[in-house]
Amino acid sequence: MNDADRQAVLALFPNASADFIQRNIEGFLRPRSPLAPKVCDPKPKHDARPKPLDPHKDEKGSQNRPQARVKVTITRHGSKLLDIDNGAGGCKALIDALRYEKCIVNDDPGTIDFIFRQVKTTKDKRGTEILIEPA
C-alpha cells in the first residue's frame, strides 16, 4: 500500500483506523482480488416467496373463480391490554402468513372482514386465537 492509496481512503473515511485502511484498500481504489472474500450485498436479490400470490390463480396459473369472503378474527389473550392500533397493526405479519400458507385467499378488504379482539387473562393463559369462518 502506498501513501497515495492511504490518503485516498482517508479522504473517504477521515477517521479510518490503520487496520480499516489495510483491509479495505482493495475494492475502493483497485479491483478486488478474486481470492479476497466478497462482501454480502445488504439488499436481497429475491423475495421470500418466488412469486406473489394472485387470489384468482392457483399455483399452475389457471384461472379460478373468486373465493367467497371470509371473516378473520384474531383474539389476543394477554395479561395487559394493548392500544387498539398497536394490537391490530401487529397482526399484519400474521395475516400475511395466513395468506402465504393459503389459509385465506387474499388479505385485501374486498376478500376478508378483519376483527381484532383482546381478552385480559392471567400470565399462564396468554396466547393468540385465530378464527377463520365464512363472512
Query: What digits encode the pLDDT tens for the residues 11-67?
Result: 877 888 887 777 776 655 555 555 555 555 555 555 555 565 555 555 555 455 556
The whole-number pLDDT of residue 120 equals 94
Residue 55 lies in a domain: no
Instruction: Kindly report the CATH number assigned to the domain that includes residue 107.
Output: 3.30.429
Cell 477517521 -> residue? 15
How does pLDDT run across 121-133, given as a tens digit for each residue? 999 999 999 999 9
Residue 57 lies in a domain: no
Residue 29 lies in a domain: no
Residue 106 lies in a domain: yes
Q: Tell how strand 127-134 and strand 112-120 pair up.
A: unpaired
Q: Residue 128: which domain range?
A: 70-134
Closest CA to 77 of 118, 133, 30, 132: 118
Residue 14 lies in a domain: no
0.75 exceeded by the pTM? Answer: no
The whole-number pLDDT of residue 106 equals 86
Residue 30 lies in a domain: no
Query: Which of 83 and 3 is assigned the larger pLDDT?
Result: 83
Structural domains of the chain, count: 1
Residue 99 lies in a domain: yes
How does pLDDT run across 67-89, given as a tens digit for each residue? 678 999 999 999 999 888 888 88
Residue 77 lies in a domain: yes
